[in-house]
Amino acid sequence: MSTSALHREKISVPRLIAKKVRGEKIACLTAYDWTMARLLDEAGIDLILIGDSAAMVFAGQETTLTMTMDEMLYHTRVVSRGVKNALVITDMPFLSYQVNPDEAVRNAGRFLQQGGADGVKVEGGVHMVETIRRLTDIGIPVMGHLGLTPQSIRSFGNYRLRGKSSKEADQIFEAARKITEAGVFSMVLEKIPSELARRISEEVGVPTIGIGAGPHCDGQILVTNDMLGLFEDFKPKFVRRYANLAETIRSAAADYASDVRDGDYPSTEESF
Ligand code: KIV
């Protein structure tokens, strides 16, 4: 690890936006617990997202819809505690911001006040404009999320590419312009064609962070459990595995079990 990664300054929202202006790519990952958050921060990750993907990869649920405010607050608190430098953004869970802007303000405020987050992420386009405006007006940084928005999985019916038809591509492009006008400091573009992500990234002044959206975004994000090879059930095309931790963990646990059963652990040196 480089010393510059160890002695970085805290990334603020203006510093993140400045990276886009300078043409520096932004590296983002998800975290759900203190240990992982600390490691990712030490590695120099720019933005750590407490994703509601925790419902699936941390808690074994089928969708993100089951995530509650209390659960997200817990994950946010433990992740924030582990991070010194990265910008910490937390997902607002399903139904915590869609009912009305007042509830969204109250819930988003809890993530900053009680969770230690630097900002929140909300899914959705034009219908989210009023809420985004209310939050940003009172100083709560908001990240948008367009394209495949997992909280809408029951209406989409599947996790396929969004924005493939020119009609849907135009809707996503328009939504990107509108949420930018409303004040988002950045937006996730999930599973849309590269060309659409390029058009949006050139159009909006805030960093676009892609996941399955090709190389033209200002930054990239992956679910950490996917890129570390902890989640093996399936591998989306856009995921690159940088490690095979599932195998490493299974093998370490099996070695330990065999040592215990054979009486090889603990040794005299490991005993008092
Ligand atoms: O919940 C999540 O992890 C996310 C990322 C995939 C962007 O929203």
pLDDT in tens, 79-136: 999 999 999 999 999 999 999 999 999 999 999 999 999 999 999 999 999 999 999 9
Measured at the alpha carbon of residue 118, what is the angle toward residues 176 and 20, in degrees to the nearest 5?
45
Class of domain 3-241: alpha beta
Tens-place pLDDT, residues 225-238? 999 999 988 899 99
Alpha-carbon distance of 54 to 241, in angstroms, equals 19
Whole-structure pTM value:
0.96
Ligand 1 near 40 CB (within 6 A): no
Q: Which of 91, 94, 121, 162 to mutate to test the pocket of ligand 1 (most atoms within 8 A of CB)?
A: 91
* Paired sense of beta strands 208-211 and 87-91, if any: unpaired
* Residue 265 pLDDT exceeds 90: yes
CA of 51 to the centre of ligand 1 (A): 5
Longest Cα pair distance anywhere in the chain, in angstroms?
71
Give the chain's mean pLDDT: 96
List 24, 42, 190, 203, catalytic entry = 190
**Collapsed DSSP state (helix, strand, coil) of residue 222:** strand
Ligand 1 near 55 CB (within 6 A): no
